[in-house]
Amino acid sequence: MAADETAVEGSARQPRPEVVLVRHGETARTIGGRHTGRTDVPLTEVGRHQAEHVAARLAERHFTVVLTSPLQRAADTSALAGFAGAEPSEDVVEWDYGAYEGRTTEEIRAERPGWSLWRDGVPGGETAAQVAERADRVVQRLRRAEGDALVFSHGHFLRVLAARWLGLNADAGRFFTLRPAGTSILGWEREQPVLARWNEPVG
C-alpha cells in the first residue's frame, strides 16, 4: 500500500470529537423540585462536593471547547471541576420558565391538571422551539470543534441539547433524565450521532 493511502486510511479511523455534558450540582431548589430557570441560585455544600468529584472524572480528558452557563450554579460547578476558564454562553442557560419559575410541578398541576412542560409550555417563558434554537446553535458550534468539547449547564436545557444532537424534536428530551452533577457523552457511531453515555453519577 502506498504511503499516502496509509495516511488516508489512518485518518479515516480517527474518532470524531465527543461532547461531555455536565449538569450543575445540587441546589436548594433541586432538592425541593422547583423549576429554576433564570433565578441565580447557589450550589449547596453537597452540590459543591459533587462538582469537585466531577473533576476526577474529567481529569484525563482534554477539551478544545469548554462552555458554561453564566448562572452561578453552573459556573461554580465548572470552576470546582477544574474549568474556571470556561467560556460563559447565554445559549446554554436553562429554559426560561416564565410564570412557573420557582414552582413545583405539583403546584402547577393543581391549576392545570396533567400539565407537562414538554407538551404545554409555560406562560411568559420560552417555548420548546425557542430552547431548541439555542441548542441547535450549540450543536453547530460543537460539531465544528477541532477536538472534544465540554458543556456545564442545566437539566432541561441539556436534555433538549441531547435530543437535537440526535436529530430529534426538542420534546424528545422528556425521555431523558439528569441527576445533579450527572455526566453524559454525546458521540458518534460512524456518521450517526449517538448517546455514548447518559446520566452517570459522580463518585
CB 164 within 8 A of CB 134: no
Dihedral sign of CA atoms 36, 41, 44, 47 in order: positive
Question: Which residue of the set 24, 35, 154, 156 is catalytic?
Answer: 24
133 a catalytic residue: no
Which residue out of 18, 26, 35, 94 is catalytically annotated? 94
Distance CA 203, CA 188 (A): 26
- Residues with Cβ < 8 Å from 58, sequence gap 6 or more? 20, 81, 82, 83, 150, 183
Active site residue 62: no
Among all chains, which residue has been given the C-alpha cell 486510511? 9
Characterize 58-94 residue by residue with b for buried, 16 or more Cβ atoms within 10 angstroms of its Cβ, and e for exposed: beeeebebbbbbebebbbbbbbbbbbeebeebebbbb
Cite the active site residues. 24, 94
